[in-house]
Amino acid sequence: SRGYNIDSLAVGATEDPNLSRMTFVVVGDDRVLEQVRKQLEKIVTVVRVVDVSAHEHVERDLMLLKVRTPPGARSEIRELVDIFRGRIVDVGSDEVMIEISGRENKIEAFIERMRPYGITELVRTGRIAMIRSMNSDGSDGSD
């Protein structure tokens, strides 16, 4: 046993067409995180390993969710989608598909609000993250 679990894994293209970015979410103490870093650095094709949690960063998760729309519930569901700043991306006769992104706790809270209506399908990307930019005065780039 390697002594840790990968909670989330996301892979995608980057600004460099020759490189892909892999975002691993691993929960553990410093020893576990160092073990993961060393194992990743042993892989020949790994260019760089960065622990974004050691820096100010932005973290997001993307989810698509289908939920039943019982009679009279569409307006309630639409209102919740708006409150959570999601989007309805497909409408069927008895269900809607919703896209929502944000921090993991926002996604989890939205899922809990949708459960009573009947979630029929759900898929998530897993968390992705990027270190915040620093301004010339040393502050981060957030508002």
pLDDT tens digits for 49-72?
A: 888 888 899 999 999 999 999 989
Q: Is the pTM of this model over 0.75?
A: no
**Mean pLDDT across the chain:** 87
CA gap 98, 19 in Å, rounded: 31
* pLDDT of amino acid 41: 83
* pLDDT of amino acid 139: 63
Strands (E), the chain: 6-13, 20-26, 57-68, 87-91, 95-102, 119-124, 128-131
Tally of CA atoms within 13 A in the half-sphere of 24 that contains its CB: 14
Q: CA separation (Å) from 90 to 14, 48, 100?
A: 28, 39, 13
Q: Collect all residues with Cβ–Cβ distance below 8 Å to 12 and sequence separation of at least 6.
A: 20, 21, 128
* Average pLDDT of the segment spanning 18-40: 84
* pLDDT of amino acid 80: 98
User: Smallest Cα–Cα separation from 73: which of 112, 115, 101?
Assistant: 115
